[in-house]
Amino acid sequence: MHSDAFFPPRTLLPFSVLLFSAFLFAAAAAKAEDGYDLWLRYQPLEQETRHQYRPQLRQLLIPGREQSPALNTIASELVRGVGGLLERAPAVSEHIRGDGFVLVATPQSSPLVRAEKLPLKGLGDEGYLIRSVKIRGHQGTVITANSERGLLYGGFHFLRLLQTRTSIAEVDISGQPRIGLRLLNHWDNLDRTVERGYAGQSIWDWWNLPDVLDPRYTDYARANAAIGINGTVLNNVNASADSLTPRYLAKAAALAEVFRPYGIRVYLSARFSAPVEIGGLTTADPKDPEVQRWWQGKADEIYRLIPDFGGFLVKANSEGQPGPQDYGRSHAEGANLLARALKPRGGVVMWRAFVYQQDNPEDRAKQAYSDFVPLDGQFDDNVIVQVKNGPIDFQPREPFHPMFGAMAKTPLMMEFQITKEYLGFASHLAYLGPMYEEVLKADTFARGAGSTVTRVVDGSLYGHRLTGIAGVANIGSDRDWSGSTFNQANWYVFGRMAWNPDLSAEEVARDWLKITFSNNPTLLDIGLEMMLASRQAVVDYMTPLGLAHLMATGHHYGPGPWVSDLARPEWNPAYYHRADRNGIGFDRTGDGSNAVAQYAAPVAARFASRSGVGDDLLLWFHHLPWDYPVASGRDLWGELVYRYDRGVATAQNLQDQWHSLENHIDPERFDKTARLLAVQAREAKWWRDASVAYFQSVSGRRLPAGSAQPSHSLEYYQQQQFPWAPGH
Ligand code: BDP
């Protein structure tokens, strides 16, 4: 090895010095391990691994970087990443000077890559290829793509190979996203509160934008690009029309500028009545020509400021939001109004299907389907309907939404919630990978077996080109972004599965643990067990056996299964569990609301069958007597209590497991996590005790042998008040 192998040639010195000092600064800042660095920690790998990698990573070649902000971004990330992981930054050079080069270029930007004639055809605009090559007798790696965006994703994938200690000796990887729009939805308000946000204030400092650009915005873009997220809706779906005023558009434009080199587009939630509220019109009726002109003008104004603006997200005629039905028009007519304004510039409308009406006595789980499915075929081709994963509302467990598979002519996008509104806020550990996987792999049977939700969402089932997936962000101003280290895994797995919905929750969790903590086998084993057990634990201690929506009113913090006095029937937990002396559960079979009929025949038959549906969704679809024998051999009452107990036991076990890892984790992250796990264990018991006390009062049954009496009376739990719970 030449001693000058890592020394940059003279002409490039200033650039490299800049990069290198950025790296040194990052390395120093990262030492604190306060969670800020997410999956971009780039802490030194184990010594042996570093030694193995170093000869393969001597030189970095990125032709054209001086002229391109995107390439510059890739170069600095790779220098920073490799430099941190290997404790030695590669030389940034112009020419291959030996083995161990990494050449990052498109065929257009490098004749060397062009000469390799690599198979890039099917990789589209965002795909990439990472391959070991021999060029002019020297061994190295090429990261190539059809576009700079592809190079960016390839670069991040390359860093992930190192972070997960994967060999790069004979690498041949190609990747491309299966879903087009991979978006975060921020439910962030202009006053910096965040609806259902549990990690501090909004990261968008709306007041000081566009003048003050927090470096966090860049780190946000880096973190998202690293997992393939390519768009962000900046503001709450319960939108303020002010977001569309010139003042606020300038702020959004400033963020768009920061995100652009990272391949991230900006979108806005649009309030349907904006033409009235900020436009001075007397109506927002989609059929009114003045309203149409107003939206057209607004779109033009936005595109002047943000040339790559992604489009609008709209919550209309839902929970009090204005919408086309206020004027006797349909959701399709409303969506098309906005879509036509965006169409000339390639923007899209993401129209949400999360609707239910207070004067509609129909089972709430059926209402979105009833509203939307008849409109299939009426939406313009730049409209995509955004559907929550389940028919009610981000509960710990729901069956997949019946709209998936039911609208052949309309592209549907998935809406997951990353922020854990119904799964213990930011305090509880609940790794959502298994939930996302459960939903994506569910078979809708819409076109026979194998018609999975994934195939609806990736467009392959009905041949749609416009595809998308959104996650309601769990990001806030907290130093660790998401309120806890493990919550970061939910942001991470959302991005990874948005890119490739076939990934398993387990493999993503393993990557995340390696990148976030270390490669230690004990840590990986126990960490994985914890993560994979955590979501089912929350289901068990909050809403076992297919129960749902049992939380306290408004803030949704803690149990409230007894609540039955709210104005709208479907706001009351009692509406969902329907428990009385004789039994419990919501009958959605043909004898009840017949919600099962909204699913394709084989699925409907399975859900309608008491024995076929499976105990995990039993009470979602069936109202059963307390002594009904479930699959475990216990009666329903015994199984209910058993599951509550199991949830509490798992929560306690999470604590013990974590404590066994103390020697493997840095003190700051260890301690915060340990404290949060203690909160979770306490609150799991609270959920269990309050719920068991309540259901016992209703059923009049004795607790099964060996199951502890709740610590307090039912009245005690009913009296708890939490007016200042966050996220409301
Ligand atoms: C519910 C939330 C509410 C949201 C609503 C939505 O409680 O804050 O506005 O979903 O998705 O889960 O629009």
Arch. (CATH architecture) of 3-175: 2-Layer Sandwich (3.30)
Q: Which amino acid is at 414?
A: M
3-state secondary structure 302-342: HHHHCCCCCEEEECCCCCCCCCHHHHCCCHHHHHHHHHHHH
Assign a CATH topology to domain 539-586+623-718.
Answer: Alpha-d-glucuronidase, C-terminal Domain (3.90.1330)
Q: Which atom of ligand 1 is least distant from the CA of 422?
A: 12
**C-alpha dist (Å) from residue 141 to 58, 125, 155:** 11, 21, 11
Give the pLDDT confidence score for residue 431 in this predicted structure. 99
User: 473: which 2 tokens?
Assistant: 């962000």
Quick one: which atom of ligand 1 is closest to the CA of 238? 9
Domains of the chain by residue range: 3-175, 181-503, 539-586+623-718
Q: Which of 194, 313, 354, 553 to mutate to test the pocket of ligand 1 (most atoms within 8 A of CB)?
A: 354
What does the pLDDT read at residue 31?
56
Residues 6+ apart with CB under 8 A from 600: 405, 444, 445, 446, 451
pLDDT in tens, 439-460: 999 999 999 999 999 999 999 9
Instruction: Considering the candidates 393, 511, 587, 683, report the single residue annotated as catalytic.
Output: 393
What are the CA-CA distances from residue 118 to residues 106, 108, 122, 717 (Å)?
Answer: 10, 12, 11, 65
Q: What is the three-class DSSP state of 688?
A: helix
Beta bridge partner(s), residue 619: none
689 is catalytic: no
544 C-alpha vs ligand 1 centroid, how far in Å?
Answer: 22
Rounded CA separation 313/350 (Å) = 5
Q: pLDDT tens, 570-581?
A: 889 999 999 999
Helix (H/G/I), strand (E/B), else coil: 343:
helix
For residue 542, the 8-state DSSP code is: H
Residues 510 and 618 sit within 8 Å (Cβ to Cβ): no
Q: How remote is the CA of residue 52 from the centroid of ligand 1, in Å?
A: 50
By mean pLDDT, which of 9-18, 171-180, 224-233, 314-323 is the weakest? 9-18
CA of 197 to the centre of ligand 1 (A): 11
pLDDT exceeds cutoff 50 at 13: no
Question: Any idea which architecture 181-503 has in CATH?
Answer: Alpha-Beta Barrel (3.20)
Mean pLDDT of the chain: 95
* Best residue for ligand 1 mutational test, from 237, 413, 414, 566 (most atoms within 8 Å of Cβ): 237
* pLDDT tops 50 at residue 586: yes
Q: Which helix (H) or strand (E) holds 698?
A: helix 667-699
In ligand 1, the atom with minimum distance to the C-alpha of 388 is: 11
Report the interhelical angle of 636-659 vs 667-699 (nearest 10°). Answer: 170
Q: From the CA of 328, how far away is ligand 1's center (Å)?
A: 24
pLDDT of res. 359 = 80
Concatenate the DSSP letters of all residues of 344-401 into one string: GGT-EEEEE-----TT--S-HHHHHHHHHGGGTT-S-TTEEEEEESSSSSS-SS-PPP
Tokens 């959104």 locate to 470
Runs of H (alpha helix) within 573-635: 573-577, 601-608, 618-621
Catalytic: 421?
Answer: yes
pLDDT at 525 > cutoff 80: yes
What mean pLDDT is predicted for residues 550-555?
94
Is-catalytic flag, 319? yes
* C-alpha to C-alpha distance for 319 and 176, rounded to whole angstroms: 38
Q: What is the mean pLDDT of residues 280-290?
A: 98
pTM exceeds cut of 0.85: yes
Query: Tens digit of pLDDT for each residue in 609-637?
Result: 999 999 999 999 999 999 999 999 999 99
The whole-angstrom distance between residue 623's C-alpha and the CA centroid of its chain comes to 33
Give dist(CA 723, CA 728) in Å, integer: 9
- Cα–Cα–Cα angle for 219, 222, 223, rounded to 5 degrees: 85
Tens of pLDDT, residue by residue over 75-116, are 999 999 999 999 999 999 999 999 999 999 999 999 999 999
What is the Å distance from ligand 1's center to 142 Cα? 45
399: amino acid identity, one letter: P
* Atom 1 of ligand 1, nearest CA residue: 393
Decide if pLDDT at 2 tops 50: no
Angle at 276 between CA 275 and CA 278, to 5 degrees: 70
Helix axes 433-441, 521-542, angle to 10 degrees: 70
Token pair in block for residue 282: 């007397």
Annotated catalytic residue, options 4, 46, 66, 319: 319
15 vs 711 pLDDT, higher one: 711
Q: Measuring from atom 2 of ligand 1, which residue has the nearest CA? A: 196
CB 551 within 8 A of CB 573: yes
| Ligand 1 centroid from CA 436, angstroms | 18
570/360 Cα distance (integer angstroms): 10
Given the residues 421, 437, 443, 689, select the one marked as catalytic: 421
Q: What does the pLDDT look like over 41-72, one tens digit per residue? A: 999 999 999 999 999 999 999 999 999 999 99
User: Ligand 1: which residues within 6 Å by Cβ?
Assistant: 195-196, 237-238, 315, 354, 393-394, 421
Mutate to test the pocket of ligand 1, among 185, 321, 393 (most ligand atoms within 8 A of CB): 393
Q: How far apart are CA 278 and CA 259, in angstroms?
A: 28
